[in-house]
Structure 1
């Protein structure tokens, strides 16, 4: 009988592995990482978020003033800068809750990106699904911008971009693993969301409040930054991007807003046609929309559809031509050739990009269905 009891007791002693457990308050959790590059050195920023207030809110308690800290260190490499952070932080550091990494435009250089990605993919605490951004703002100011109503930075745009993207889709947020894949693709141009700060859009307690804001997109090819575009030049991307959930389309007539549509889940399909040995690209966009505003009551439904389709085409062409004038394949037309006409891509491409001239400007067709007109519920379909 004694022998029978002895074995389970020994097993219980060996399995009780909580001696080395640490209290959550004794560990510092890094929430976001920022990379700048100045005078040949890495400037590392880390944003720390307190989980104690977050736990109280989720348990039904009252919200407290959001607490966050920002650390900074400079060194020749990312890792050396991180160890300088350790020297002054005075507590054990956990990288397991990092949600995003932000590069300044100065840091978007091939050797800086490669060094950073190499470290992040080697270090087992950091997930490969963190969000990646670019910015031209001072990183300390960017990390000190907190959400409204005392909400924790744990729910900010840095860590939770999908909620905003589902409600208003322009630039698709990108995770680290997808960003790396796009950089390594020979014909792909990576599109990185561009973060800025708005200081006049919101007030809190009668004072201007600085808020994070998506302001455009940066284009990188083979780990090299090409340029960054603001929203007016980048609007055409939403019609060729995947997983666009909900995006507004403003319809203008004679320079004035005539109506606004809410477009859901647009679908783009590329085809290549060969004629006399030459390839041309065609883009077909299918969109469904609801009329959310109609400022011009005299506008016929056919005219509204015509203007909407025309606007989509103009946005796509503007984005393509903005990039073509700078040698940037904003629509990733080179990737279409790489997938569907590999021999032609090899013949034409220079450093992975096909010539971005008028010959390769894609022809565009748009198929629009208006699902709801607001007061009247009906289907309206007009094709090219």
Structure 2
């Protein structure tokens, strides 16, 4: 009996041991990564995050170095990652990877699918990471820190939804969304295009920040093209996720140019494919709500409505036409045809896409459901 007790005691000692655990302070955490492709090799830029600097506050010490960026190359991304391991002091953990930036060179190559598969198949990475593209040096983008030295976990690339709810320009795209769109008919996806911006300054000089410039449209095999600034503004009226946007209207009725800015929210849209003369065309209905100052509302609600409707139509048409110039289906009309006019789609599609022309949008109707008035501005 005593021998049995001793045996169980000895076994329990082994069961409670934690000799194979990894100590957090002895690990390095990758927060973001950039992937480039040059001269037949992948280049990866890994952004290491110092969790200790933001453990007690969202604003680290002003003297703290929040991040470092490492570089490695390889015939595959896995080989590049292994080469990166040779130049680190501690074990690297990929479980905190929050975003990835693909270079323009990678998107123009035929290696995009291999790059995506590397993140999908690796057990530590998650489908929730955000995806971006850029034509700027990736190491420089990864070294940009947030405004007022906020923690890196609050950066534009790591937390895009925070600002998207205030100004919905381009929909953030996760790895999960990327995979879904590339697998569905149409096989195109709009990826946010980021650049380094010099809009902010400190007493010490310019404080670079990351800014969404527009979109790049990709397929499984290549980069189709990009839309920037005003050419991409129509996207916000065709997105189910648009939360809040602004429009500035010009008013020169008093022989003096005046401008009115209104806030547009609660954007809803309906796309209806219509078969006509053996081809597919699309009727688009957009419904919005508007918030304006009392002073703007006093200038004439009907005139204000007309101006807003005309501006939204103008932006949608401009983005659509700029897209088809590069053979891009930026509004994913082919997918709408697949879901709502399957037989016509089966007859007309080529590689999942419907041939779009300048006349493919048959009707574009914009209506304003409600105009809300803020407090009157007094000067």
TM-score when normalising by structure 1: 0.89
- Give, in whole Å, the separation in 1 of the partners of 2:250 and 2:81: 51
CA-to-aligned-CA distance 1:307-330 (integer Å, 9 cap, x gap) = 101111111000111011221111
Compared CA separation, residues 107 and 276, structure 1 to 2 (3 A): closer
- Give, in whole Å, the separation in 2 of the partners of 1:362 and 1:15: 70
Compared CA separation, residues 292 and 53, structure 1 to 2 (3 A): farther
| Aligned equivalent of 2:317 | 317
| Aligned equivalent of 2:233 | 235
- Give, in whole Å, the separation in 1 of the partners of 2:285 and 2:316: 11
- Give, in whole Å, the separation in 2 of the partners of 1:224 and 1:338: 22
Shift, 1:13, TM fit = 2.8
- Give, in whole Å, the separation in 2 of the partners of 1:154 and 1:68: 11
2:215 maps to 1:217:
yes
Correspondence list, 1:118-129, <5 A = 118-129=117-128
CA-to-aligned-CA distance 1:76-125 (integer Å, 9 cap, x gap) = 11111111100111211111110000001111146321111222121100
| Aligned equivalent of 1:266 | 267
SS of corresponding position for 1:57: coil
Shift, 1:242, TM fit = 1.8
| Aligned equivalent of 1:51 | 51
Shift, 1:204, TM fit = 2.1
Moved more, 222-231 or 160-169: 222-231
Moved more, 136-145 or 338-347: 338-347
- Give, in whole Å, the separation in 1 of the partners of 2:293 and 2:223: 38
2:16 maps to 1:16:
yes
SS of corresponding position for 2:18: coil
User: Size of the alignment, in residue pairs?
Assistant: 373
| Aligned equivalent of 1:380 | none
- Give, in whole Å, the separation in 2 of the partners of 1:14 and 1:292: 71
Correspondence list, 1:195-210, <5 A = 195-199=194-198, 201-210=199-208
Shift, 1:278, TM fit = 4.6
Moved more, 179-188 or 9-18: 9-18
CA-to-aligned-CA distance 1:265-323 (integer Å, 9 cap, x gap) = 311111123455554310111111211586x6873110000110111111100011101
2:70 maps to 1:71:
yes
Cα RMSD after superposing both structures: 2.5
Compared CA separation, residues 321 and 293, structure 1 to 2 (3 A): farther
- Give, in whole Å, the separation in 2 of the partners of 1:365 and 1:246: 20
Compared CA separation, residues 78 and 256, structure 1 to 2 (3 A): farther
SS of corresponding position for 2:86: helix
SS of corresponding position for 1:217: strand
- Give, in whole Å, the separation in 2 of the partners of 1:373 and 1:8: 75
| Unpaired segments ≥5 residues, structure 1 | 377-384
Tell whether the 8 Å contact from 1:66 to 1:153 is kept in structure 2 after alignment: no
Shift, 1:4, TM fit = 10
Tell whether the 8 Å contact from 1:137 to 1:196 is kept in structure 2 after alignment: yes
| Aligned equivalent of 2:170 | 171
Tell whether the 8 Å contact from 1:30 to 1:47 is kept in structure 2 after alignment: yes
Tell whether the 8 Å contact from 1:280 to 1:360 is kept in structure 2 after alignment: yes
| Aligned equivalent of 1:105 | 104
Moved more, 5-14 or 308-317: 5-14
- Give, in whole Å, the separation in 2 of the partners of 1:56 and 1:337: 51
- Give, in whole Å, the separation in 1 of the partners of 2:179 and 2:245: 27
| Aligned equivalent of 1:374 | 374
| Aligned equivalent of 2:248 | 250
Shift, 1:66, TM fit = 3.9
Compared CA separation, residues 336 and 61, structure 1 to 2 (3 A): closer
Moved more, 318-327 or 284-293: 284-293
SS of corresponding position for 1:167: coil
Tell whether the 8 Å contact from 1:169 to 1:244 is kept in structure 2 after alignment: yes
| Unpaired segments ≥5 residues, structure 2 | none
Shift, 1:180, TM fit = 1.2
| Aligned equivalent of 2:36 | 36
- Give, in whole Å, the separation in 2 of the partners of 1:127 and 1:7: 43
2:288 maps to 1:287:
yes
